[in-house]
């Protein structure tokens, strides 16, 4: 979990501007990520017509961002270098590609959209192997209680299902028990 640091990139087409401009935007992006003092998560939208033709995410950038204190990345773009990623660095990507293509940062700190999820710079993101969600800051105070309630409601059915002789009768009993949890 971390606060979003957003950016957009392209990888599909050759560079059309001086390399100095491309490098300057990448440095601006690194500066945007560096030393915030809070857990951060990079959220990068590949804005090519066909996202993921080139893989920006792999051994190099997982190590660079981990070194800058970033917990992970969420992208609709591509990743590569499985087995060589920085240990403990999370990557949720839209696809896999063997080449970096013509990777270039386009914008930094602007709103992005990853597979239909609208994300603003500074949004609180929870991401794991199952996907990602934006957690509204106003919901943060109630989050621990909500997690406890959901866990308590699921527990009766899971425990019943693990017992020998489990049946629909047990499902009904577990569902009734879960309904009493508020």
Whether residue 123 is annotated as binding a ligand: the answer is no
Burial class, 26, CB count within 10 angstroms (exposed 0-12 / middle 13-18 / buried 19+): middle
Tell me which residue of 81, 64, 84, 79 sits closest to 11, measured CA to CA.
79
CA atoms within a 13 Å half-sphere pointing along the CA-CB vector of 150: 6
Residue 179, class by beta-carbon neighbours within 10 Å (0-12 exposed, 13-18 middle, 19+ buried)?
exposed
Q: How far apart are alpha carbons 94 and 106 in whole angstroms? A: 19
Q: Which residue has the tokens 């527990």?
A: 155
DSSP string, 135-167: E-GGGGGGHHHHHHHHHHHHHHHHHHHTSTT--
81 annotated binding-site participant: yes
Residues 6+ positions from 154 with CB-CB distance below 8 Å: 178
Binding-site positions: 80-81
Binding-site positions for substrate: 80
């Amino acid at each position: 979990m971390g606060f979003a640091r957003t950016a957009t990139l392209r990888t599909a087409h050759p560079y059309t501007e001086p390399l100095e401009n491309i490098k300057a935007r990448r440095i601006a992006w690194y500066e945007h990520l560096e030393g915030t003092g809070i857990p951060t998560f990079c959220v990068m939208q590949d804005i090519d017509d066909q996202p993921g033709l080139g893989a920006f995410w792999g051994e190099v950038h997982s190590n660079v961002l981990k070194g800058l204190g970033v917990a992970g990345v969420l992208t609709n773009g591509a990743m590569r270098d499985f087995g060589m990623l920085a240990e403990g660095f999370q990557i949720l990507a839209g696809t896999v590609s063997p080449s970096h293509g013509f990777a270039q940062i386009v914008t930094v700190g602007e709103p992005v959209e990853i597979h239909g999820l609208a994300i603003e710079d500074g949004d609180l993101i929870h991401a794991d192997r199952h996907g990602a969600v934006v957690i509204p800051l106003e919901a943060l105070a109630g989050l621990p209680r909500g997690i406890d309630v959901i866990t308590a409601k699921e527990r009766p059915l899971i425990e019943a299902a693990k017992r020998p002789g489990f049946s629909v009768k047990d499902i009904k009993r577990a569902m009734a028990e879960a309904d009493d949890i508020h």
